[in-house]
Structure 1
């Protein structure tokens, strides 16, 4: 049967499990975010959903797979203490880069300039990271300690559906509010002119 071939193939190449699941979970997070905004089916931004699918498949899933392989090599035991160590190490060694890659990469997929992508990272990184620092240690401690290694990226994918919905909201609505006119201080005025020139 064709499904048996797929199961055997993904068992041999485990990274494909994550890529397949993330190709659906990331755009689903985008759809949920737009649903919470009150959009109707005909008003959904499907190009945005496609960008989330591409990013989840070809960037997020391979990055997470690589990190989990490294983490499981460094801490092979599955006891609670080792799982907590992996989860908190992830917050320092992996999550900051993942958040930066998300805001920067998604901005590039939106065909924004590199300066605009960098500006979005500066505006949205810290608040996003603080939320992740509360959420992900709990999630990944459960994942590392209770879920078999071959299924950890899939489990993380389902946990990340909530996270992706949050990221989609921050990507669309987060960051500092723009001024109606030039601010008063020279530093703020330079920033306002830089942002305004890109819009």
Structure 2
């Protein structure tokens, strides 16, 4: 009896807190969803527990909770103020407007912000956006509008950020994969150069004066 009563008490307290502080609800949700997505992405790569990049997971949590949740909350409030009705037609309109405004901003912010959190600098962040933003946008245009039409058209406003955070679990996993793919490509691009330098470093220094006679003698044999 004690456990069910405790669970019901916590549920009621959470409902009161969530209804009174929707932004805090979003921050908590995204502080869980974003690192979970990074964890899922690394799991799909086949990593073992000892091989996980925990700092990367932490960066995802910080970015999701401290940046994405407040900006998304602001956009949802603006959209609800501009179109207060809740139906599929208005939901589709909001989704189209979002795809043309907030979605590009969110994708750009992700690649730019995560690169800065990795300590790579502004120029590297610009290059990351230039390389990956177009690819991400081409895929997002077929997925995000459908989800946001459902969100704006059928989901009550207090629960919209939770619905988005649930859908984001899979979308952010994809973004984490996209970001990691770029790192792998850069590694593969630079690895042959590094190996070539190491090979050249270990080659003996040959002088023409001593090397050419030896070659001539070899051919003379």
Please point out which of 19, 23, 34 is paired with 1:15. 23
The Cα offsets for residues 102-126 of structure 1, whole Å up to 9 and x where unpaired, read as 0010011101111111110111000
The Cα offsets for residues 122-150 of structure 1, whole Å up to 9 and x where unpaired, read as 11000001111111000011111111110
In structure 2, the gaps of 5 or more residues are 1-8, 194-221
TM-score calculated relative to the size of structure 1: 0.86
Please point out which of 95, 102, 105 is paired with 2:110. 102
Q: What is the deviation of 1:3?
A: 5.5
In the alignment, does 2:126 pair up with 1:118? yes
- Alpha-carbon distance between aligned partners in 1 of 2:10 and 2:88, rounded to the nearest angstrom: 38
Q: What is the deviation of 1:93?
A: 1.0
Please point out which of 146, 166, 175 is paired with 2:174. 166
In the alignment, does 2:90 pair up with 1:82? yes
Which one has a larger percent helix, Structure 1 or Structure 2?
2
- Alpha-carbon distance between aligned partners in 2 of 1:25 and 1:175, rounded to the nearest angstrom: 23
The equivalent residue for 1:43 is 51
In structure 1, the gaps of 5 or more residues are 183-199
Contact 1:23 1:54 in 2 (8 A): yes
In the alignment, does 2:145 pair up with 1:137? yes
- Alpha-carbon distance between aligned partners in 2 of 1:175 and 1:108, rounded to the nearest angstrom: 14
TM-score calculated relative to the size of structure 2: 0.78
The list of structure 1 runs, each at least 4 consecutive aligned residues, that deviate by more than 3 angstroms after superposition, is 1-7, 174-182
